[in-house]
Amino acid sequence: MAGGGSSQSIGGRKKARIEIIPLIDVMFFLLAAFMMVSLSMQKLQVIKMDLPTATAQTTSKKPDVFNIEISRTGDVSVDSKHLSIPEMEKALKERMNANTNLPVYIKADQKSTHGMVMNILDSVKAVGAPKVSFAIEPPKD
């Protein structure tokens, strides 16, 4: 048996093998080369134009919000006007006739009592305000 093992040879000659890994490498190289050539063949045309620029419009209208402030003595003020609770309810009803989805913010002084705040909250809910939130300030350092 001249020529090596029987699995490598057929009738004394070596069996031919095709290595596929180098073939894959060559195919990827050709693919990349054709892609680069086809991209460089595209002719890009550019048209100069002056596009309009957007400007932000300044709005003078404040958002429709009903701000209620409660002082440490229990006084109620709406938009810096001191009102009694029935006057506050009347003002809220009038504003809600114009905007049924009016957000209401209650801001209480740190020294005001829980009962004062709950009294105002009950009055606001009795009027039928759908959105009631508490406005808070972070502690000052």
Q: Is residue 100 part of a domain?
A: yes
Query: pTM of the prediction?
Result: 0.53
**N-term to C-term CA, the chain:** 96
Q: Is residue 11 part of a domain?
A: no
pLDDT above 90 covers a percentage of the chain that reads 16
What is the rounded distance in angstroms from the CA atom of residue 28 to the CA atom of residue 65? 65
- 78-119: per-residue pLDDT in tens? 888 898 889 999 998 988 888 888 889 999 888 888 888 899
The total domain count for the chain is 1
In 1-141, which ranges are continuous DSSP H helix?
A: 20-40, 85-98, 114-127
* pLDDT recorded at residue 69: 92
CATH label of the domain that carries residue 97: 3.30.420.270
Q: Is residue 92 part of a domain?
A: yes
What is the rounded distance in angstroms from the CA atom of residue 81 to the CA atom of residue 78? 5
Which residues, at least 6 apart from 10, have a Cβ–Cβ distance to it below 8 Å?
Answer: none
Q: Is residue 23 part of a domain?
A: no
CA distances from 136 to 49, 96, 128, 141 (A): 50, 23, 23, 15
Q: Is the CA virtual torsion 84, 90, 95, 99 positive or negative?
A: positive
Q: Is residue 39 part of a domain?
A: no
Q: Is residue 48 part of a domain?
A: no
